[in-house]
C-alpha cells in the first residue's frame, strides 16, 4: 500500500509523460521470456506503476526482422540489425535515428538507453538534436574496459545509472566516467508463482549462459569434486552458449552423466520451476552487474554459492567465495546441514526502482 501511494504521488508530480527505451535486443513476442529478462521486468514495472505513461521501445539488433509490433500492448520498433558489423551496423543506427526523428518531438519525454553500447551513443545523439533528456543504464559487463563504446561516452556528457557501488567503481576505473546515480534493480514478485517445494531433489543448480565469463566448466569441475563425497548427488545445468560442447565433453570425461542433468536453454518460467525444487545455486561467473539469477534463486528459497559479483545485498544464505576450494567447502557445508532453511528471501519490488528513476527524470527536467 505504501508503494502504491508513493507511485500515485510520484506520477502526479511527473514532468515527463513519455519514455523512449533504446536497447540492443528485446523479446520478439510475449513468449520470448528469456531475452534480457531484467529489462522485461523493468518495462513491465513502468507499465504497471504508470499505466497512463506512453512507453515506446526501439531495439537495434534483435528481433532480426525489421518490423513494428506490440508487446504487452506496448509499441516496439525492431530495426532488425542481426548483429552484423561494418556498414550494415551503421545502416541500422541510421534506421533507428531516422525513426526517432519521425516520432513526436515531445521535449517532456525521456530517452532511456539500456546498456552502454550503441543504444547509449544513439540515445545521446538524438537527445542533442531533439532537446529531450537522455539517461543510460549500465547493465553489467558494459562497465569494463572491454567495452569499446566507453571511450565515446567518456567524451560526451550524459547521465549514467548503475545498479550498485561496485559497478560505479568499475565504470570509473575503466573509463573515468562518473555514474550519475546508483539505483538497484527491483525484483518482480510474480516470477515465482505457486508454493515452494518442501522436498528439494536438485542439490546443485547452474543457471546461466554457457559463455566464458560464466565459467560453466569450473562449475562442472566443482560438482565432480563434490560428487566424491556425495555419491547420489543430483545437479542440473540450465543454459546454452558457446561453451556448450566443452560442458558436455567435460561431463562425459568426468563420468558425471549419472549426476548431472543437462537441460540446455530453458524458458524463464521453466528455470523458476527448477529453482523451486533446488537447494543451491552454484554461480561461477567472474563478473556481473546485478545478477538477476541470484535474486531469483533467493526468492525461491535457495542458497547461493558465488564469487563476489552481482549481489544486491549481503545475506546469510549467500556464500561469497574467493576461489574454487572455498566454493567446494561452502557446498559441502550446506549439503551436510540437516536444518537448511529454504524459506524465500524478499527484495525491494520493481515499483521501488521505478519511483527512484522517476525522481531522477524529474530532476533532469527541472534542471533545464
Give per-residue pLDDT as tens, 283-306. 999 987 778 889 889 989 999 999
pLDDT (mean) for 253-276 = 94
Cα–Cα distance measured from residue 306 to residue 309, given in angstroms and rounded to the nearest whole number: 7
pLDDT grade for 197, boundaries at 50, 70 and 90: confident
Alpha helices in the chain (DSSP H): 2-13, 37-49, 86-102, 118-130, 150-153, 165-175, 216-229, 244-253, 268-275, 292-299, 324-336, 350-366
Domains of the chain and CATH, by start: 2-186+349-366 (3.40.50.2000), 202-336 (3.40.50.2000)
323 CA to centre of own chain: 24
Half-sphere exposure of 211 (CA within 13 A, CB side): 9
pLDDT grade for 4, boundaries at 50, 70 and 90: low
pLDDT grade for 88, boundaries at 50, 70 and 90: very high
Which pLDDT belongs to residue 193? Answer: 56
Phi/psi at 189 (nearest 5 deg)?
A: -85, 0
Mean pLDDT of the chain: 91
Cα–Cα distance measured from residue 15 to residue 19, given in angstroms and rounded to the nearest whole number: 11
In the predicted model, is pLDDT for residue 9 greater than 80?
Answer: no
Cell output for 203:
542439490
In the predicted model, is pLDDT for residue 1 greater than 60?
Answer: no
Q: Name the nearest CA neighbour of 284 among 335, 243, 334.
A: 243
Q: Name the nearest CA neighbour of 253 among 282, 220, 205.
A: 220
In the predicted model, is pLDDT for residue 268 greater than 80?
Answer: yes
**127 within 8 A of 134, measured Cβ to Cβ:** yes
Say if residue 63 is preceded by a cis peptide, omega within 30 of 0: yes
Mention every residue, 6+ apart, whose C-beta is less than 8 A from residue 306. 281, 282, 283, 284, 285, 291, 294, 318, 319, 320, 321
**pLDDT, tens digit, for every residue of 239-249?**
999 999 999 99
Q: What is the pTM of this model?
A: 0.81
pLDDT grade for 310, boundaries at 50, 70 and 90: low
Which pLDDT belongs to residue 91? Answer: 97
Amino acid at each position: 500500500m505504501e508503494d502504491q501511494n508513493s507511485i500515485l504521488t510520484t506520477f502526479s508530480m511527473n514532468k515527463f509523460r513519455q519514455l523512449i527505451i533504446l536497447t540492443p535486443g528485446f523479446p520478439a513476442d510475449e513468449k520470448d521470456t528469456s531475452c534480457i529478462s531484467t529489462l522485461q521486468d523493468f518495462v513491465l514495472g513502468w507499465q504497471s506503476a504508470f499505466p497512463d505513461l506512453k512507453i515506446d521501445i526501439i531495439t537495434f539488433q534483435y528481433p532480426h526482422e525489421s518490423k513494428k509490433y506490440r508487446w504487452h500492448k506496448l509499441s516496439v520498433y525492431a530495426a532488425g540489425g542481426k548483429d552484423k558489423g561494418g556498414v550494415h551496423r551503421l545502416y541500422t543506427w541510421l534506421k533507428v535515428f531516422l525513426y526517432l526523428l519521425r516520432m513526436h518531438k515531445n521535449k517532456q519525454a525521456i530517452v532511456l538507453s539500456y546498456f552502454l553500447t550503441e543504444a547509449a551513443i544513439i540515445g545521446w545523439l538524438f537527445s542533442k538534436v531533439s532537446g529531450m533528456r537522455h539517461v543510460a543504464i549500465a547493465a553489467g559487463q558494459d562497465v569494463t574496459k572491454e567495452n569499446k563504446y566507453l571511450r565515446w561516452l567518456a567524451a560526451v556528457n550524459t547521465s549514467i545509472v548503475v545498479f550498485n557501488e561496485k559497478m560505479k567503481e568499475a565504470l570509473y576505473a575503466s573509463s573515468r566516467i562518473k555514474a550519475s546515480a546508483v539505483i538497484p534493480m527491483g525484483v518482480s514478485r510474480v516470477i515465482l508463482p505457486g508454493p515452494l517445494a518442501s522436498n528439494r531433489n536438485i542439490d546443485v543448480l547452474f543457471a546461466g549462459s554457457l559463455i566464458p565469463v560464466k565459467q560453466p566448466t569450473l562449475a562442472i569441475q566443482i560438482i565432480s569434486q563434490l560428487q566424491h563425497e556425495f555419491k547420489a548427488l543430483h545437479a542440473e545445468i540450465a543454459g546454452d552458449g558457446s561453451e556448450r560442447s566443452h560442458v558436455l565433453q567435460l561431463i562425459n570425461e568426468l563420468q558425471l552423466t549419472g549426476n548431472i542433468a543437462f537441460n540446455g536453454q530453458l524458458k524463464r518460467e521453466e528455470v523458476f520451476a527448477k529453482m523451486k525444487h533446488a537447494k543451491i545455486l552454484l554461480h561461477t561467473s567472474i563478473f556481473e552487474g546485478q545478477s538477476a539469477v541470484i535474486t531469483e534463486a533467493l526468492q525461491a528459497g535457495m542458497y547461493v554459492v558465488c564469487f563476489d559479483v552481482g549481489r544486491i545485498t549481503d545475506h546469510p544464505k549467500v556464500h561469497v567465495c574467493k576461489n574454487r576450494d572455498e566454493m567446494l567447502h561452502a557446498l559441502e557445508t550446506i549439503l551436510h546441514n540437516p536444518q537448511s532453511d529454504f524459506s524465500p528471501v524478499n527484495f525491494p519490488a520493481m515499483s521501488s526502482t521505478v519511483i527512484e528513476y522517476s525522481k531522477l527524470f524529474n530532476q533532469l527536467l527541472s534542471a533545464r
